């Protein structure tokens, strides 16, 4: 069903949408009663436990694999190897991820799996397997991969205007290099799959997956069977963040293969260390850039090359890179632009989807440029940003018109006013003048994030809705629940469309035998797509019931309204109760179930030239952060955050505010705390050294802003989207750029006026400390005069005297 469905964005009276209700599983979560995939194994008889045999080389050829010693370990039942695969030995959609590899591509790559009666027996069996490996050359860092010319996948380019002419005519030209790190998903529930086989050889996999249909597809091709012999169910996930969009498939396939060969249920559940060392992260990037401004500080041209760290295989690196290129502009008009992308192959876990899906990485480029160049232009960074905002009638570098650009200005002003920014800046200046070793900074940043899958075909969804004879309603849809509240919103959409109280509706777990060919619950589109499908199914049932009610009450079908569980003619006081209406419909042999479908209209995208309108709409937001930095340690705290965010007409305000708060904190973690490190020397080369929460710093309560104000933009109905709402999953993460920019302002306060500060990303206390030290000596690494307009060479280090973690580039002013 297309967007034309009976007023997709119009809300009826007494709607269940827009009501602030708790998450549908909130009570189960906080009492510990919520079941996750591993819990189901405890309710299943004769389960076998799988354990991987990991090889401690970054890159090596397997010359021998001896599994017999494992079979001698008590409790070991079977060792799964490549010889056991009846179908295709591959766990990825690009056919570049062997499930049982003969060549190890990252430190900790699993070459076989041991099945045993207990987890401990499986572990001991895996330790007994003997593997001979011949080490091969490896690239661990992005710089090494660039130097070795190690690339994979497509090299897209977004071009508009004449970049060289724009730079040549610009009053101010700067160039620089930026490197920034990836991020570990660190979902609370690690990767997990439980597979069973029935008497007919059909496979049932319960899996912690964001993409059940693709998990089904991969399991089927590994087993060499058609998809209809495989059913995948996702009850719920204990977090996903993109890390369970592609990566569960191989683990589910191992479980399914084991169940098929042994006839017993098999559980694959990674330990935290295994999950950290075997699964991919957010893509880190290396960026070379040149930018030109006119005399008033307006952007004239940007030339940038973005190199993504793809890890050992392609995974989702190509669409991540495409979205990164489509978000370099963020909220700013770039008349002349050339953005070139490429994907490096490194011998690390395969980088994958992570909340924002390349958008945060693209936006970080322009936000870093503006933050570093503002002092060199003599313009306040906030003023520089606002001066370059999109205006009505302008379009993105890839050719999509920017609708509702005025919302950016409205959001920005609401943050300035609501956050008392001007007054607080005066107080901060007074504080900084009186505190030589502690400084505060305040910064504002905007967000413009495109909503829809870049790949147009994924923008479709299905639903199956049943109304039972007693009037109760069961909803199946293709989206998965990972704590984000999608199921809560779908309950509200169904209750609103049918006109029944919320308590009459229940949601069933996501299963591929109920709704087929689903897209991943990703790209922030879960509520838009599945909400459209649920609404479509409910409308079919409601329209049939309206015909029945019209016959009972007199009048036309079009005059019937079902509100709060009662069907009435418009304006009439009396009506027929929902339960009676449903019973009557059943006895009249009226169909009380419906399959719903929705596809997003108006999308077109040509990836070969990176042009079109790939997004249904843009989600907007603005945020201000105030931070305090300790000059002795570089430690900082977030004193206050003010956010105004555009979610259209919220489907579920409590859920949306929770998503905004959580996304913001996760973004702040990526930018200021979470520091992935790999060993680059010796026998442990390629080993992830941050293998747990003790060494990988996650944001916690102590990192939350002391004052945290979140407001939803009013008067923001989005036409053509389910009940006028907008997506909320990913965009708030990018609001956290204001924390990084506030840190830049605070660091600059330690130095002379007008100093340009560059920050490592993540801006950890160590990185902030070194930035403070440089600022105190007046060495901002940001105002170096240079006549040469040639772009920096890829992989060139910007400042060889700086510690490795600090070499993130410098802004060079071409006078």
Quick check: bond before 762 cis, omega within 30? yes
* 155, 567, 576, 589 from 584: Cα distances, Å: 61, 13, 10, 9
Helix (H/G/I), strand (E/B), else coil: 66: strand
C-alpha 56/C-alpha 687 separation (Å) is 8
What is residue 234's DSSP assignment? Answer: E
For residue 413, the surrounding DSSP H or E stretch is: helix 406-418
* Helix 212-223 × helix 248-262 angle, to 10°: 40
451 - beta bridge partners?
Answer: 617
Contact 371, 382 (CB under 8 A): no
Is 103 assigned a catalytic role?
A: no
C-alpha 486/C-alpha 694 separation (Å) is 32
Say which of 24, 318, 674, 730 is annotated catalytic.
730
Angle (CA) 111-114-115 rounded to 5° is: 145
What is residue 271's DSSP assignment? Answer: -
Contact 304, 289 (CB under 8 A): yes
**Maximum Cα–Cα distance for the chain, whole Å?**
86
- Written as six digits, the tokens of 166 are 């724009």
C-alpha 519/C-alpha 526 separation (Å) is 9
- Written as six digits, the tokens of 623 are 């945020």
64 - beta bridge partners?
Answer: 132
Angle (CA) 152-156-161 rounded to 5° is: 155
Residues comprising the chain, all counted? 815
- Written as six digits, the tokens of 750 are 């330690």
Place of tokens 């249904």: 616
Contact 24, 16 (CB under 8 A): no
Place of tokens 């130095």: 751
Tell me which residue of 308, 302, 309, 313 sits closest to 324, measured CA to CA: 308
Which sequence positions are flagged as catalytic?
730
């Amino acid at each position: 069903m297309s967007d034309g469905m009976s007023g997709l964005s119009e809300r009826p009276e007494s709607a269940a949408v827009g009501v602030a209700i708790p998450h549908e599983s909130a009570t189960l979560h906080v009492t510990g009663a919520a079941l996750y995939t591993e819990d189901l194994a405890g309710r299943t008889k004769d389960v076998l436990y799988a354990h991987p045999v990991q090889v401690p080389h970054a890159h090596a050829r397997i010359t021998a694999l001896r599994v017999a010693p494992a079979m001698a370990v008590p409790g070991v039942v079977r060792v799964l190897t490549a010889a056991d695969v009846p179908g295709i030995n591959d766990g990825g959609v690009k056919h570049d991820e062997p499930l049982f590899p003969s060549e190890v591509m990252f430190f900790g790559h699993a070459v076989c799996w041991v099945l045993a009666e207990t987890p401990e027996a499986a572990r001991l069996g895996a330790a007994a397997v003997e593997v001979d490996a011949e080490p091969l050359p490896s690239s661990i860092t992005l710089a090494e991969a660039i130097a070795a010319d190690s690339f994979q996948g497509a090299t897209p380019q977004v071009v508009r205007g004449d970049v060289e002419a724009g730079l040549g005519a610009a009053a101010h030209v700067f160039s620089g290099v930026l490197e920034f790190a990836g991020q570990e998903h660190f979902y609370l529930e690690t990767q997990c799959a439980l597979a069973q086989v029935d008497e007919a050889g059909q496979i049932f996999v319960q899996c912690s997956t964001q993409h059940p249909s693709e998990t089904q597809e991969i399991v089927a091709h590994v087993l060499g069977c058609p998809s209809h012999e495989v059913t995948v169910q996702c009850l719920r996930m204990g977090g996903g963040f993109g890390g369970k969009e592609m990566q569960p498939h191989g683990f589910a396939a191992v479980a399914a293969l084991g169940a098929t060969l042994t006839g017993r249920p098999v559980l694959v559940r990674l330990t935290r260390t295994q999950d950290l060392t075997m699964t991919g992260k957010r893509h880190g990037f290396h960026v070379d850039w040149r930018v030109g401004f006119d005399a008033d500080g307006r952007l004239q041209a940007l030339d940038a090359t973005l190199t993504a760290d793809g890890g050992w295989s392609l995974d989702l690196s190509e669409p991540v890179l495409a979205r990164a290129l489509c978000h370099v502009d963020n909220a700013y008009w770039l008349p002349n632009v050339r953005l070139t992308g490429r994907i490096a192959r490194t011998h690390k876990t395969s980088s994958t989807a992570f909340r924002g899906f390349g958008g945060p990485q693209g936006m970080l480029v322009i936000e870093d440029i503006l933050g570093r160049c503002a002092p060199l232009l003599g313009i306040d960074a906030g003023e520089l940003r606002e001066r370059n905002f999109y205006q009505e009638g302008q379009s993105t570098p890839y050719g999509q018109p920017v609708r509702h650009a005025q919302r950016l200005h409205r959001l920005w002003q609401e943050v300035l006013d609501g956050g008392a920014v001007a007054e607080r800046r005066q107080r901060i200046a007074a504080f900084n003048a009186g505190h030589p070793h502690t400084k505060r900074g305040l910064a504002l940043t905007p967000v413009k994030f495109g909503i829809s899958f870049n790949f147009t075909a994924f923008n479709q969804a299905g639903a199956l809705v049943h109304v039972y004879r007693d009037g109760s309603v069961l909803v199946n849809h293709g989206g998965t629940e990972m704590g984000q509240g999608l199921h809560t919103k779908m309950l509200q959409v169904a209750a609103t469309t049918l006109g029944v109280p919320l308590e009459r509706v229940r949601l069933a777990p996501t299963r591929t035998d109920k709704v087929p060919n689903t897209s991943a619950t990703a790209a922030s589109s879960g509520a838009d797509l599945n909400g459209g499908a649920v609404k479509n199914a409910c409308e079919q049932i409601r329209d049939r019931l309206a015909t029945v009610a019209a016959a009972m009450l007199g009048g036309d079908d079009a005059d019937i309204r079902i509100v709060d569980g009662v069907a009435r003619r418009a304006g009439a006081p009396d009506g027929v109760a929902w339960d009676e209406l449903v019973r009557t419909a059943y006895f009249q042999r009226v169909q009380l179930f419906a399959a719903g479908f929705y596809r997003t209209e108006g999308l077109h995208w040509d990836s070969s030239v990176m042009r079109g309108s790939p997004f249904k709409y843009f989600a907007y937001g603005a945020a201000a952060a105030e931070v305090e930095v300790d000059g002795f340690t570089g430690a900082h705290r977030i004193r206050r955050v003010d956010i105004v965010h555009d979610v259209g007409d919220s489907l579920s305000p409590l859920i949306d505010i929770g998503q905004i708060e959580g996304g913001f904190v996760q973004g702040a973690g990526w930018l200021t705390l979470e520091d992935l490190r790999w060993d680059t020397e010796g026998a442990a080369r390629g080993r992830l050294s941050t293998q747990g929460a003790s060494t990988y710093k996650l944001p916690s309560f102590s990192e939350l802003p002391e004052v945290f104000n979140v407001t939803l933009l009013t008067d923001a109905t989005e036409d053509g989207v389910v009940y006028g709402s907008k997506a909320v999953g990913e965009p708030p993460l990018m609001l956290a750029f204001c924390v990084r920019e506030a840190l830049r302002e605070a660091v600059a306060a330690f130095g002379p006026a007008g100093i340009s500060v560059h920050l490592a990303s993540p801006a950890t206390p160590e990185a902030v400390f070194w930035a403070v030290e440089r600022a105190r000596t007046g060495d901002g690494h940001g105002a170096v005069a240079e006549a040469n307009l040639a772009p920096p060479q890829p992989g060139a280090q910007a400042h060889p005297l700086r510690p490795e973690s600090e070499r993130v580039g410098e802004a060079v002013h071409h006078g």
